[in-house]
Structure 1
């Protein structure tokens, strides 16, 4: 059940879906050089707290309604900013999930009908365990737009399903570089770190996810459990 919950946050959700998170329990080695996946390959050390690009300066000629001058991707980002502000202030988990679902809908808007089609076909292939076909479809989408965070996020999920934690973490890094507030990618990273025995780092990433999505119950539960474990280790 925890494995399924974890995947729902990594896989972009359909419209009106409500994301959740969890953990896939596993035991990994803990080498000095970094994480390793089940195949023994080292995983990259990642920075989940990369700063987003600086916002463009306001247009002094914009008048009383700056939104009038926002088109395409800029307008989408403005709408996402407003939704994230609402998410951070959500009074309870029910409202938080609704806002998170609206954010996921925005993330699923690539701005390209072709990319949307490719990724929808990729999700269908993943549901049918056609992983090679899904990888090809996602690859085509990334060729068309390498700056689309949700394509990287979907490929991270696919690598995870195939058991390649190294590549999954690398694609999570791409996702967070493009969208540092991606709570699905953050909880996915935290779950892999926790499975690798890096409890303190996993706790830091869960805390970051909770800054973005304070009412995410599964992340709160994992963070609380990890906090106790980390405190016990320092005694």
Structure 2
């Protein structure tokens, strides 16, 4: 990935102008989805269609095979984490989120997802840490601010 371009987008995520932040967010997602070219993107899309059709096992098999074939494709891990989160397999989702973050430390989506998973199983301190890390990258994201407050309240 082009470091200058990524650094510029990360800077734009902190811009006070919402339109600039939204464009930077969309562009980072595009880069992450297209990391492995058209083939990787198409396979992720196929898994998403399976998930939307309720064919969860097919989606999981597709993503697991993609991860096996391209273990450094962070978005494949992230998509499987989303799948696991959606079916309540929070520990598996946490493991996949951690792999995404290892491969792509600026992946604010995986950090947010990691927080959601920890919160879902009552690990509020870990959730707060993940939401804080996501906010370091996207400081204007209100949902993470709100979730930190909610998790903090649950600790009291």
- TM-score under structure 1 length normalisation: 0.61
In the TM superposition, what is the alpha-carbon distance from 1:199 to its structure 2 partner?
2.1
Please identify the structure whose Cα radius of gyration is greater.
1
Query: Which one scores higher on RCO, CA 8 angstroms, separation ≥ 6?
Result: 1
Structure 1 residue runs without a partner (length 5+)? 1-72
Tell me the TM-score normalised to structure 2 length: 0.88
The answer as to 2:9 corresponding to 1:83 is yes
Q: Deviations over 1:203-223 (max 9, x none)?
A: 121111111001111111112
Alpha-carbon distance in 2 for matches of 1:229, 1:144: 41
- Residue aligning to 1:178: 103
Cα distance in 1 between the residues matched to 2:88 and 2:152:
27
Instruction: Report the Cα offset of residue 174 of structure 1.
Output: 0.6
When the two structures are aligned, how many residues end up with a matched partner?
156
Corresponding residue number in structure 2 for 1:28: none
CA RMSD of the aligned region, Å? Answer: 1.9
CA displacement at 1:193 relative to structure 2 = 1.5
Query: Is 1:103 matched with 2:31?
Result: no
Asked if 1:116 is matched to 2:34, the reply is no
Q: Which structure features the higher share of helix residues?
A: 2
* CA spacing shift, 1:137–1:78, aligned 2, 3 Å: farther
> Which 5+ residue runs of structure 2 have no aligned equivalent?
none
